[in-house]
Amino acid sequence: MDTATLQLFERHYAAQPSQYAFAPGRIEFIGNHTDYNGGLVMGAAVTEGITVGVSLRDDAVIRIVSETGDLVELPLGSYKPVEGAASWTNYPIGVTKVMSDMGMVMPTGYNMAVTSTLPTGAGMSSSAAFELATAKALAALYSFETDTAGYARIGRKAENEFVGMPCGILDQGVSAFGKAEHLVKIDCATESFATEPMPHGAHFWIFNSNKKHALVDSAYADRHAECHQALAQLQSDHPSAQTLSQISPEQLKASKDVLEPLLYQRAAHIVGENARVRAVEAALAVGDLEAVGQALSASHESSRVNFENSIEELDTLVELLKLQPSVYGARLTGGGFGGAVMALTSADFGQAQANVIAAAYQAKHGLQASIFHTRAGDGAKLL
């Protein structure tokens, strides 16, 4: 049970919820934009996330209230994405639609209250957390069954088809499969999920740039389209390749001439990221955090130069972090074009170092970064 959600629910519905579910946000550890390119990615669920409380109503209405007091009511079965102030409800309503399309029987509507410990816009995927918490809670409420991968796919389908964001399975997969003190590895070609222990003595710090980028969604969609154009051009040399991730670094180099220069850069990022995920896996296996950190920083450099999904503010944070001896590596985490940087650090990195970085960042960009020292936490669950 979760006190904040209980109080919100009781205040609005004068009753207690019958089910609660929590789902975490995520850090993208390494593997940037590889997910929708059939590649490899590693992430970690964080301990912060979204909690929903739900109960059945006795009429054909759905009501959702957030902790900021926004309340939305709609008729059961009438699911259309909305724009503007109520667009936050697209996540739970998208999930409701996907699950009912999959055969979840909903004789009556539901009341929902939602609370969050996750900052929005921080690149930690509060949207996937909301989708996964909703899916878990509704499954319990309406006796719908699926497995962990099934929950991740429900969330992604809601995001792709209802919210209209062409994301891969990273955010929802990590939110579903997260495990305390573990990383989640996803092979997006086969959609297989595995966890492996976080190396001893490794810490995550998140620096949210708090730089708002108005066009994040369209920039993401542009990159998605460019990756598919790059693949189409590469197929003249490699007709059997179904995804960019099936192209090796050597093949890409040899085919440089068939690609427009911009598309070559985009493909180089994806192909390079897959190689860096493999390098990180190998370094983790022998506990070599220095090598892990180098791959993380190389990933950021490729984002900056090849994929152009970094921004000056994120580059500043990465550069400042890399100056600290207790930082193994740092990179933007998530889609980019704003959001957050994550740093992999030793236990010696503390609030004092974080404050130094925040002060230098503020001096340069006039923005206050929000800082979290977070741990790898558990995946979506009923409470």
Positive or negative, the Cα torsion across 49, 129, 317, 367? negative
Candidates 2, 35, 131, 226; binder of ligand GLA (CB under 6 A) is 35
Residues 208, 296: Cα–Cα separation, whole Å: 17
Q: Which of 28, 48, 308, 313 binds ligand GLA (CB under 6 A)?
A: 28
CB of 173: closest distance to ligand GLA in angstroms?
Answer: 9
Tell me the CA end-to-end span of the chain in Å, nearest whole number.
6
Interface region with ligand GLA, contact rule CB under 6 A, candidates 163-171, 211-219, 357-365, 375-383: 163-171
Residues 6 or more apart whose CB falls under 8 angstroms from that of 52 comprise: 5, 20, 21, 92, 112, 113, 114, 130, 133, 134, 137
Among this protein's residues, is 101 annotated catalytic? no
Nearer to ligand GLA, 87 or 355 (CB): 87
Among the residue ranges 26-34, 54-62, 81-89, 359-367, the one whose residues contact ligand GLA (CB under 6 A): 26-34
Q: What is the pattern of x (binds ligand GLA, CB under 6 A) and - over residues 133-152?
A: --------------------
Residues 107-126 that bind ligand GLA (CB under 6 A): 125
Lookup: tokens for 189: 């070609």
Q: Which residue has the tokens 């977070």?
A: 374
Tokens of 312: 């000056």
Options 171, 222, 237, 257, the catalytic residue: 171
Kindly tell me which of 141 and 183 has the beta carbon lying closer to ligand GLA: 183
CB 337 within 8 A of CB 219: yes
CB of 129 to ligand GLA, least distance (A): 12
Of the pair 2, 171, the CB lying nearest ligand GLA is at 171
- Per rule CB under 6 A, count of chain residues that contact ligand GLA: 12
- The continuous run of DSSP H or E covering 225 comes out as helix 216-234
Q: By CB under 6 A, tell whether 334 contacts ligand GLA.
A: yes
- Is the Cβ of residue 57 or residue 228 nearer to ligand GLA in the bound state? 228
The DSSP line for 131-147 is HHHHHHHHHHHTT----
Q: How far is the CB of 244 from ligand GLA (least distance, A)?
A: 13
Distance between CA atoms of residues 310 and 114, nearest Å: 31
Based on the shown chain and the rule CB under 6 A, indicate whether residue 33 belongs to the binding site for ligand GLA: yes
Q: Residue 307: what residue type?
A: F
**How far apart are the C-alpha atoms of 118 and 208, rounded to whole Å?**
12
Pick the closest to residue 50 from 379, 351, 273, 279 (CA basis): 379
Question: Is residue 176 near ligand GLA by the rule CB under 6 A?
Answer: no
The answer to whether 24 contacts ligand GLA (rule: CB under 6 A) is no
Beta-carbon contacts of residue 221 (< 8 Å; ≥ 6 apart): 165, 166
Least CB distance to ligand GLA at residue 331 (A) = 11
Nearest distance from C-beta of residue 273 to ligand GLA, angstroms: 8
Instruction: Figure out which of the listed residues 45, 167, 263, 330 binds ligand GLA, where binding follows CB under 6 A.
Output: 167
Contact positions vs ligand GLA (CB under 6 A) = 28, 32-33, 35-36, 125, 167-168, 170-171, 334-335
> Catalytic site residues?
171
